[in-house]
Chains A and B, each alone.
Chain A
């Protein structure tokens, strides 16, 4: 499972970085979204990967049988924040398209 998660994060990050460096605003926003998915997975992975383990402790239990709840709480916050900022970025993207008439990130087409 570790390998699958690591490969997944790696593929997301590499696609995200590549898209982030592209000249079209839509590519940039998709790149940022992919990167944020990768980061979210990464945060969960940093709490150690474990399946079928409950995050809520009952009294006197062996801690090794449980999964770490904190990264899950962190990831929830991170998802909400990246969702909100992506939505905001989308608005700016549309405003830029409307004002400049092009979807290039610099607001004008590069000279051919």
Chain B
């Protein structure tokens, strides 16, 4: 008895479909000028973007799906405005998007809150692979990915620069450890967080943008997740936000280069006292 080649291929692919989720954050573009109004970062008229590290996660998710089959769902915890970034992710190639809006229900939020909400959403979705950025450029805590993995009881690897999924769910990951590389073997289900260098995120194509408009984008609230405000109450609190003292432009040295160099060394030694 012989299988036709295409039948075998189809069997294989169906058996290997990967159920993929990407955890995304809409962030303030920190390349913008930052000011403080009423004790908070002024968001008026600011540019918002997909957190750059999450773009790597989205790109990797799409590549894994295109190679192994499956579906990519991009999830965010945020306000209604995050719909724009979710649509961008759909335009890049994600299949579905979910916006979990808890702003009306939860006043004080921190990483504990976000992770609890995401884990609660994911727990009955049978994720094979969850991807996230290794850190968000606004809050900069890098906690949410590992927290979600731990809440779901699955392993995680952070700051990855390469991901290989073999048949049968064996996974080889390259992890960036302060510039060195660790080659790690693990298995699905798995959560990974993306480091720069993982891939080159694509720009949404025009057909992609058109298609994205028709792709499903669900909006959920705390009630839909069977969570109460007390379950996700923040454990930490921000009591003050401030800007660093403005750096004054310093001294541009003058004269022959060789003399400038001598002067610089003297200044570093006697004035700045750093060498």
| Bound together | no
